Amino acid sequence: MCGIVGYIGTDEAFPLIIQSLEKLEYRGYDSAGVALLGSDIKVVKVVGGIDKLKNKILEGRVGIGHTRWATHGGVSERNAHPHLSCDGEIAVVHNGIIENWEELKEELRNHKFVSETDTEVVAHFLEERLGKGLSMEEALKELKSRLKGTYALVILKKGDDRIYALKKDSPLVLGILESGFMLASDIYAFSDKTNKAIFFEDGEHAIIRRNEYRFFDSENRVVEKRIENFSWSSGKEEIGNFEHYMLKEIHEEPNAVRRLLLSLRTDQREKLEALKKLMETKRKVMFVASGSSYFASLLGVYFLHRAGIESQTLIASEFHNYERVNGDTLVIPISQSGETMDVLDAVKLSKRKGAEIVSIVNVPHSSIQRESRFSLEIKAGQEVCVAATKTFINQVVLLMELASLFGYRAELDTLPQEIEHVIKSNEKTIRKLARRLKDKNDIYIIGRGVTYPVAREIALKLKEIAYIHAEGMMGGELKHGTLALIEEGVPVISLIPSKDDEVMSNVIEVESRGAMSIRISPESKEFKIPQTNSGKFAVFSVVLGQLLAYYIAKERGLPIDKPRNLAKSVTVK
């Protein structure tokens, strides 16, 4: 989940690396560091965000950088990347997890380790092999044969005017700049500088000079790579008049939905109809996703079932335990980043079993998209806040549009302006409610049918952003245990589509036990929600839940855009 960068070219490397790391900070923000190649390798590291690096100027035209999400070892300067060999002649940045690092460390016990990380073994391993007379290229080949786990590695060597890069199961891409080359975890790192890139495949490594590069496949044979043109947000997202990116991105939802609907009815229409035909020819349709994307997929299954189309969804981390896929299965992975490791593993397993893959992603040219027969993009644009807001809404809208091809009544033409109305009409009410809830430790959200996945998603937002224990649950399961936790003053949010008597019975159950009852419904006097179909009600409820999580977190003084222990792109298991 870390962000890695490397630059080699004719420009000063440090400012370019800092700019790119800022754009990758959503991948991790525990600590950061940069190493530049000169007569020696100079390294600076900080605990905290990229801002703390800006006053630490280094000179040189070859360098690597890293922004960290901690996996092995605590958050500290010594655990920050880049990591060095004992002699300081090798510098390494890494995204992923090296599973056999302890075994390698034991082999290298004559080396002095200064960090608690798995990454440091790479620097010492290369130092050891070079000390035995191997060339850097020979040492890299041996490193590839010994490493187990996931990695994108970018490496510098003192006295060597090249950057070395390796990739297995963690994303890595080479940007083709006018001034040279840039390596990064994703294209957003350099999309303001070029629209040309080469994507690493698993097992590949590359050696990059200022004016040339060579790629090698998993068998260490030279391989020709295609330069691809891409289209993606070019500049750093500006926060404008908003205090936090999360609030900005919630307010961007109407325009994001407009952009998606236009795309689905023009340039992506052919692919949408191709997906429909594939679904009709396959015996089984199975979604796979994680986090918010999983709750979107649950809604997709609901919409499709209402249209008479059989489908199911599995959460990606448990896919291998519950899947039954074969050559007559269509697997539809859903991922904002297109790099989620558990989803990518599920895709690869499904392909090995002969399943067809069509993905739904936000980031173009991502690993999941490239593993797919074809892909639909949700067109939400760059999302800076770790918590998914506009990306979740666009995933749901795409799935509603898909279901509408089978007869589901989506009625999406007016959705963008209706979302605008819901935000404008309820934001003041939500702020007042947030002040009532800011000191609560537990919140329960009840839904049934279409609102059950919504309850789960709202609960996730309250956990992620407001640090509140929240449980989104099926109303029908309330009396099977959870009702024992409902007592005087406990907040219970009920999601009540028009004339839903079943949810109303749950409302009466919790209110009779003294709960602080909050009804989200078109009939509610507290909230202003249009009378509409159940799918659009689900969208409006999510928007209100996002706003509530935001304003509670603001009342609590929490780091909304960068919640503790979380990262936007989950590229490790």
Q: Which residues are catalytic?
A: 2, 568
- Name residues whose C-beta falls within 8 Å of residue 295's C-beta, 6 or more positions apart in sequence: 392, 453, 454, 456, 457, 460
Instruction: Take residue 198 and report the two structure tokens written for it.
Output: 């080469």
How far CA 154 is from CA of 24, 33, 117, 542, in Å, comes to 15, 13, 16, 40
Q: Are strands 442-447 and 469-474 parallel, antiparallel or unpaired?
A: parallel
What one-letter code names the amino acid at 226?
Answer: R
CB burial of 389-406 (b: ≥16 within 10 Å; e: otherwise) equals bbbbbbbbbbbbbbbbbe
Instruction: Take residue 150 and report the two structure tokens written for it.
Output: 């996931």
Vertex 151: Cα angle to 149 and 153 (nearest 5):
145
What CA–CA distance (Å, rounded) separates 74 from 69? 10
Question: Of the candidates 350, 342, 371, 349, which has an alpha carbon nearest to the alpha carbon of residue 359?
Answer: 371
The answer to whether residues 476 and 503 touch, using CB atoms and an 8 Å cutoff, is no
Q: Are strands 62-68 and 83-84 parallel, antiparallel or unpaired?
A: unpaired
User: Which element (helix H / strand E) includes 333?
Assistant: strand 329-335
What does the DSSP assignment read for 457-478? HHHHHHHHHH--EEEEEEGGGT
Question: Of the candidates 37, 46, 131, which has an alpha carbon nearest to the alpha carbon of residue 86?
Answer: 131
The answer to whether residues 536 and 416 touch, using CB atoms and an 8 Å cutoff, is no
What CA–CA distance (Å, rounded) separates 524 from 527? 6
SS3 447: strand
Instruction: Output the CA torsion sign for 120, 125, 130, 134.
Output: negative
What does the DSSP assignment read for 350-386? HHHTT-EEEEEESSTT-HHHHTSSEEEE-------SS
What end-to-end distance do the CA atoms of the chain give, in Å?
A: 10
What CA–CA distance (Å, rounded) separates 8 from 182? 7
Instruction: Take residue 264 and report the two structure tokens written for it.
Output: 């689905």
What CA–CA distance (Å, rounded) separates 440 from 520? 19
Q: Dmax of the chain from CA atoms?
A: 79
Question: Of the candidates 136, 91, 128, which has an alpha carbon nearest to the alpha carbon of residue 107?
Answer: 128
| Crossing angle of helices 120-131 and 136-146, rounded to 10° | 130
